[in-house]
Every structure is written in C-alpha cells, then in structure tokens.
Amino acid sequence: MYYIAHIADVHIGAMKSQKEEEQLKIQFIDKLKDIPKLDLIIIAGDLFHTKILINSGHFKVFTNFFKDLANVAKEKNAKIRIIKGTESHDYRQLEYIKPIVDEFSVDCKIFHTVGKEIIDEKLNVLYIPEEYMEDKDEFYKEFMNDTYDLIVFHGVVTETCFQAKNQESAITMSKAPVLDTKKLMEICHGPILAGHIHARTNIKEAIFYSGSFFRWCFGEEEKKGFYIHSYNEEDYSYTNEFIENEMADKYKTIAMSLGGTDKEVPLIVDEMVQTFLALEEENVKYRLIYNIPETYDKPELLTKTLTEFFGKRENVKLIIRNNAKILDKVKNDEKIKILRGKYAKVLDRNATLEEKIQAFIKIKYGKHIELNRIIDYLYKPISIEGDS
C-alpha cells in the first residue's frame, strides 16, 4: 500500500508572506508529520504565483517550506515529485528547489516536460506538466500506449474547461492542451492527481483536483487544502482523503437588492448597512453586490452614498449594478447587432468599394444599380463641354 500526499496550486506570492508561511507550516507540514506512513509527496504544478525576488519575503517562504518538506520526506523515507505548472506562474523558478533538498539527501525529481518512471520497481507513474505544442496527439503518443499506477498532470480536461476559463485566481493559457478524460482513465489503474483548477474537483472518482491550498479571491468559498491518497498496486484499489486548510482566509459574497423603488436614499443605505452588520463576521472579506432596479430615479445619489460608506471598509469590495444602465447597454448592443446584420455587405472587408456602394443604395433607397454603372460613375473620366 502506497500513501501519497497531493498538493497543487500553492501560488507562493499570491498573499502576504507571513500568512503563507504560517498556513504551509501548520496546515500542511505539521499535518504530514502526523501521518504514520508516507511514501510520495506530489506537487502538481503552480508552486509559484509570479516571479519572486530572491531577497523578498516570499522567497523566504519558499526556502523555509522546502527545508521543512525535505525534513518530513527524510523522516518518512518519502520521495518528492514536482511538475511544472502554468508558464506565467512557475516560469523557471523550480530550479531553486534542488539545492535546498539536496542538503537533506532526499529523493526529489522535477518534471518540466512529460515523462514517466517506475518507483521501487513497482509503481509506474506518468507525469504531464503543462506544456504547449501544435499537435498534442503527436506530442504525447509514445506515453499513451503504456499503463500506469498513477498519473500526475497540470492542466485541464474537457470537463474542467469552463471552470478554468472562469476562475479569477489563475490564468489559463490559450495554447494549453485539453487532455482526454477517457484516455487518461483507460491507461491508469489508480487515481489521477491534478492541478490547475482551484476548486476541489472530483471527476468520475478517477481524476482528483486538490484545488488551491490558499484562498485569496472571491468565488472560491469551498474548502481549501490537500489530499492523502492510498493506493494498492496489487488490486488497484485506492482511497482519497481531503485534509482541509483550516486557516485559509474566508471570502464571502452577499447579493442585495432594492426592496422598493419609492424609498429615499438614506433609508435604503441604513437598511443595507444594518443587514450587512448583522451578517458580518471577524476575519472575513466580503464582496457586496447591490442591484439598483432600472425604475429607481436616484441611482447616482444612491451609488455615491453607498460607496462613501463601504469604500472605507478594508474587508469589503462593493459592486453596484445599475440595472437601468445594464438595460440600456443590452438595448444598444441589440441595435448594433441588428445594424451589423443589415449592413453586413457594407462592412465586409472582402467586398469591393463598388459592391459596398451597391449594397448601401439597395438598403437605404431600395434601388438596385448594376455594378458596371457604379464603376462608370466612380472611375470613368468626366467629360466637360468645351474641354479641348
């Protein structure tokens, strides 16, 4: 039986360094120490959030984290395996890891490109870091004809494309490949350990996204943390236990709307403030979304008053949606869409000037003029009586 710790999307540099160091130490390192048996520690991409300076607090977080991780790995006789994540996050910074862990004589490997290995002459593992290529089938073909006990990848499968596109806390590169869920499941006996999607996601009890370890933006209210997987290479059975990061910052979204269009601004603001204060908790960041109906006659004054009050609160992000403006924009967009359809020929870049003129006259005046006549009008020399 193999026991595997699986963490992904740590994004060192996304938050204040003190918070990152504290949460990694207490909620990951210390929890790994409490696990009786540990064979493999997997970091499935996006260890970094951005480029970090060597003399910065975030670099100190990184070095201390890997010293602690190497210590745990040495105590447990566990191996460390890391894959590169999104280029815009990890860059080439994974090279900093080896000098740190080498001091502890720990078995640590970093995969910048797709590769496989057999651990302890038993466990066949495929690693798929995020890479960019023209033809993914050609790029991966030599690896897709084998079978594996584990697959580790960073990126998206068909089922997570929408999530990846809409998550606020990470970038999805347009050139990144979409992996085939069915194919991955066909070639893997055990769990498939994934990174990149920041919401913990389980696909068909086979693909497990651990989600991001920290929480630093809205829209990710679900639990944060990491997985402990067990895998029996004899009968291919496995279990998956999610370990929560109980210190993750709390973010909440509250939507409010105007209760009646005849209310005066002070009354509306007072109601909203009292409602918010009744819900407010310590150490929670809030996104307040307030909807002003299109029929309310003082939207500018209400917007200004709400902004003056909530703009002073560091734990609140206020979003005011003026439905009258939204409605106007929708109507304008619809008008533009109709006009673009009506004047499609006139706006066609591939149409000639005379074709555009012909189309415009037909639309505007309902008259059809032959192209040769338009060409004559445009290009035929004008003869003026008395000209020599």
DSSP string covering 333-370, please?
A: HHHHHHHHHHTHHHH-TTS-HHHHHHHHHHHHH-----
Domain boundary among the residues 244, 259, 283 is at: 244
Q: 346: helix, coil or strand?
A: helix
The answer on 289 and 387 residing in a single domain is no
The answer on 236 and 347 residing in a single domain is no
Cα(213)–Cα(109) distance, integer angstroms: 21
Q: How many C-beta neighbours within 10 Å does residue 191 have?
A: 24
For residue 95, with 0-12 CB atoms within 10 Å meaning exposed, 13-18 middle and 19 or more buried, which class applies?
A: exposed
For residue 292, with 0-12 CB atoms within 10 Å meaning exposed, 13-18 middle and 19 or more buried, which class applies?
A: buried
Quote the pLDDT of residue 328: 57
Give the Å distances, CA to CA, from 5 to 72, 243, 329, 341.
Answer: 12, 10, 50, 56
Q: Which of 155, 163, 200 is nearest to 181 (CA)?
A: 155
* Residue 256 within a domain: no
The answer on 170 and 101 residing in a single domain is yes
Quote the pLDDT of residue 100: 87
CB 213 within 8 A of CB 177: no
Q: Which domain holds residue 377?
A: 343-388
* Residue 249 within a domain: no
The answer on 275 and 224 residing in a single domain is no
Quote the pLDDT of residue 96: 85
The answer on 214 and 103 residing in a single domain is yes
* Residue 318 within a domain: yes
In angstroms, how far is CA 60 from the centroid of its own chain?
A: 26
Residue whose tokens read 């798929």? 128
At 98, which CATH number? Answer: 3.60.21.10
* Residue 284 within a domain: yes
The answer on 48 and 170 residing in a single domain is yes
* Residue 335 within a domain: no
The answer on 186 and 58 residing in a single domain is yes
Q: Which long-range contacts (CB under 8 A, 24 or more apart) does 95-102 make?
A: 96/62, 96/63, 97/66, 100/63, 100/66, 100/67, 100/70, 101/66, 101/69, 101/70, 101/73
* Residue 169 within a domain: yes
* Residue 170 within a domain: yes
Give residue 264's region: left, alpha or beta (phi > 0; psi -120 to 50).
beta
The total number of structural domains in the chain stands at 3
The answer on 176 and 205 residing in a single domain is yes
Domain boundary among the residues 244, 260, 287 is at: 244
The answer on 209 and 283 residing in a single domain is no
- pLDDT tens, per residue, the chain with 388 residues: 999 999 999 999 999 999 999 999 999 999 999 999 999 999 999 999 988 888 899 999 999 999 999 999 999 999 999 999 888 888 788 888 888 888 888 999 999 999 999 999 899 999 999 999 889 999 999 999 999 999 999 999 989 887 777 776 666 666 888 999 999 999 999 999 999 999 999 999 999 999 999 999 888 888 999 999 999 989 999 999 999 999 999 998 888 876 666 778 888 888 888 888 888 888 899 998 888 877 777 888 888 888 888 888 888 998 888 755 555 565 566 777 777 888 888 888 888 888 889 888 988 888 999 888 888 888 877 666 655 4
The answer on 216 and 277 residing in a single domain is no
What is 112-173 written as a DSSP string? Answer: SS-EEEEETTTEEEEEE-----S-HHHHHGGGTTS-BSEEEEESEEGGGHHHHHH-SSS---
Quote the pLDDT of residue 172: 66
The answer on 352 and 315 residing in a single domain is no
The answer on 145 and 276 residing in a single domain is no
Q: 199: helix, coil or strand?
A: coil
Domain boundary among the residues 244, 278, 302 is at: 244
* Residue 278 within a domain: yes
pTM of the model: 0.76
